[in-house]
Amino acid sequence: MSAAEIEAVLLKAGQPALEPDALAQFETYLELLLKWNARTNLTAVREPGEIIRRHFLECIQCAQALPDDTERTLLDFGSGAGFPGIPIAICRPEFRVTLAESQRKKAAFLREAVRTLGLNAEVFDGRVEDLAQDRRFGVTTLRAVDRMEEACGVAFHRVAVGGWMVVFVTDQTMAGVKAALPGVEWREDLPVPGMERGRIWMGRRGE
């Protein structure tokens, strides 16, 4: 799909217009996804229009909603095919994004995407627990990770005091996440396009 076709899908969904350079990057990102997905299982969604609707849309929505009152560093926990880290790096280039992915084939794709798209990002091909102990981030994102509640507990320790956790979950899963993270003040949830019960929750880490 061309940049113009991607823009049409985004506008139809009520998303604000993106800059031409960002649309061109999304076009290239989609091409990379389709090429690599033919030989590496990056996403079960394989139709271009569905990738835009089911992946790009909510990640762009998240990028545009990120708080400004935080350090401009972001950890994408279990990045997989780069969601939401790569769309955030495209839409919010002022953030230094770390894409953490322990599966080597997916990490190789992420490196290629970062290089090709010229993103302000790095790839960490290991478990988040193995990052340097003193590394903290202004924002940590989690989307479609296994054992979400457990992963949120690990991610919490990577959020700087006063920083933000952003999780993509259903209402049912969010109840467990809240119980597991009493140190987070949840302030905002955004509806996920196309998911009746899906939400993007944003919460701030206290002292």
Domain total in the chain: 1
Confidence of residue 195 (pLDDT cuts 50, 70, 90): low
Convert the pLDDT of each residue in 113-172 to its tens digit.
999 999 999 999 999 999 999 999 999 999 988 888 999 999 999 999 999 999 998 888
134/114 Cα distance (integer angstroms): 24
- Residue 76: predicted pLDDT: 98
Looking up tokens 């903290």 gives 136
Quick one: what percent of the chain has pLDDT higher than 70? Answer: 96
Predicted confidence (pLDDT) at residue 108 exceeds the cutoff of 80:
yes
49/39 Cα distance (integer angstroms): 20
- Backbone angles phi and psi of 78, in degrees to 5: 65, 55
| CATH number where 65 lies | 3.40.50.150
- Residue 180: predicted pLDDT: 87
- Residue 206: predicted pLDDT: 86
Convert the pLDDT of each residue in 29-50 to its tens digit.
999 999 999 888 888 888 888 8
Confidence of residue 194 (pLDDT cuts 50, 70, 90): low
87/93 Cα distance (integer angstroms): 10
Confidence of residue 10 (pLDDT cuts 50, 70, 90): confident
- Residue 166: predicted pLDDT: 96
**pTM check: above 0.85:** yes
Where in the sequence is the domain holding 127, given as residue range(s)? 3-205
Predicted confidence (pLDDT) at residue 2 exceeds the cutoff of 60:
yes
DSSP state letters, the chain: --HHHHHHHHHHTTPPPPPHHHHHHHHHHHHHHHHHHTTS-S-S--SHHHHIIIIIHHHHHHHHH--SSS-SEEEEET-TTTTTHHHHHHH-TTSEEEEE--SHHHHHHHHHHHHHHT-SEEEE-S-GGGS-TT--EEEEEEES-SSHHHHHHHHHTTEEEEEEEEEEEEHHHHHHHHHH-TTEEEEEEEEPTT-SSEEEEEEEE--
Mean pLDDT of 165-191: 88
Q: Higher-confidence residue: 131 or 194?
A: 131
Tokens coding 175: 């109840």
Mean pLDDT of 62-89: 95
